[in-house]
Structure 1
């Protein structure tokens, strides 16, 4: 696996291998072994979990990180993304982790010869988030085949929804969406349902952040309380969930909007476990891409 830019590029076997490797890192079966390798993280969009998770993964793998700050880089002098990446390759980086606001930004970089790991491209893909979600689900259920998942929220603007729909359906899960009509994506296959119609039947309730920064129309009168009543996870909906069902959210969480504040750390919530698993998944991805 030379690059990781989209879940659509991974086979079922590759997905499972990355999950298994991440679990081995988590349980201590496999020890870090990328000492002396150089990495640069290029984040052109704000990030807490993904950026810090990659940094922790790199530290645990004994990698050497080249500090890159978009605010003080030559990007502000007009340097292109391609030339920035070629510069980092030329000075000796072994891989690049990139988050960028442009969909499919990575297409211009794949022939450079250096591994590219997509940490999020616009509203396109977020493969490492999908992998950590898969790992979390696999730890809970030990399978994907036959599971029912509802992805609820801002589908149209969510790279998480896009990545997870592809990976979960490929692995045998049944995935449905629940979303306001204005945030439905008719370019992506999948049935849209009312959350109340499926909440008692699904194994995974995957909530999405309302992505205000991607709404050109100002979300057309979006009102937090109304959204929560119609599409958020309330106590009443929580009480109707199956006993073994779990709650997931890629975070950051808008408490009281996508999920009631007190449910973020409820017994069925796996939100912070997802964050924990993100470190191990990114260790697995770094290992696989750099050593391929």
Structure 2
């Protein structure tokens, strides 16, 4: 096996090409880490990991940083806004510079689609995708699967409806790719101008979405859709928001999910964020063991 092939196998660029068994192994390892009492382990003592965020992030960056520190790694945080990227330095040059300084792995978030795959062909350390454009967000989907499986025991046969701006959602894409491998039934509920027909996923009404086992709301940014019919947050909430009235119709076994950040009282009413059936903060908590498993895999 060539070094480049081995690196790519330890990298996590997306879930579309990852097989079910590999995803399963990550979920199982996350369960192991969740059960550990020690806050900090020395598994990656002496390893240097760079969090390279060329796009703003709070939850994902902090989740990765907590995961890295819990594994005993040395963490370097890089923000594009305070770097030479603003002065015109290319993403490749920035990542190559950090590789030259001796990092052992890189966690990357960036806007342009396709750049991460190009980097993986040139950079000689494993790379972990922390969100690239509207392509994929693999660790978010992994923590979503982990959350669902912890609640239901199994993913096969579950009906998961993803509601909102699927067109721009890397979360939706990674979830579709992963959930289908485990036999879940994935549906979308989206306004006409927020759909992603290339994903070949059945579109359902909001009433139909409420019959699902999992109702996953997506953050909506209406400024991306100025030509659409939904001109205001109020209009969006009225047609596609998970209101208190709508939530009363979901099954008693069902759960509410959201990748965050949450626009309260737009895609989901504020009272529902910490509703007994909500798993939104559980998802955030689950992000740490999932990312511990992914980072450990990259450096094993």
TM superposition score category, shorter chain reference = over 0.9
Equivalence for 2:118: 108
Which is further off, 76-85 or 35-44?
Answer: 76-85
**Shift in Å, 1:187:** 1.3
Equivalence for 1:149: 160
Q: Is the 8 A contact 1:157 1:211 kept in 2?
A: no
| TM-score under structure 1 length normalisation | 0.95
Equivalence for 1:211: 221
Moved over 3 A (4+): 29-32, 216-221
CA 117–152 in structure 1, closer or farther in 2 if over 3 Å, else same: same
Equivalence for 2:47: 37
Alignment of 1:105-144 (within 5 A): 105-111=115-121, 112-144=123-155
Q: Counterpart of 1:7 in 2: which secondary structure?
A: coil
Q: Counterpart of 1:175 in 2: which secondary structure?
A: strand
Q: Is the 8 A contact 1:212 1:218 kept in 2?
A: no
Q: Counterpart of 2:16 in 1: which secondary structure?
A: helix
Q: Counterpart of 1:23 in 2: which secondary structure?
A: helix
Q: Flag structure 2 segments of 5+ consecutive residues without an equivalent.
A: 1-8
- Cα distance in 2 for residues equivalent to 1:283 and 1:41: 14
1:96 to 89, 95, 106: 106
**Shift in Å, 1:235:** 1.7
Equivalence for 1:243: 252
1:227 aligns with 2:226: no
Q: Flag structure 1 segments of 5+ consecutive residues without an equivalent.
A: none
Q: Is the 8 A contact 2:222 2:232 kept in 1?
A: no
Equivalence for 1:60: 70
**Shift in Å, 1:217:** 3.6
- Cα distance in 2 for residues equivalent to 1:170 and 1:231: 28
Aligned pair count? 289
**Shift in Å, 1:137:** 0.5
- Cα distance in 2 for residues equivalent to 1:275 and 1:114: 27
CA RMSD of aligned residues (A): 1.6
1:196 aligns with 2:201: no
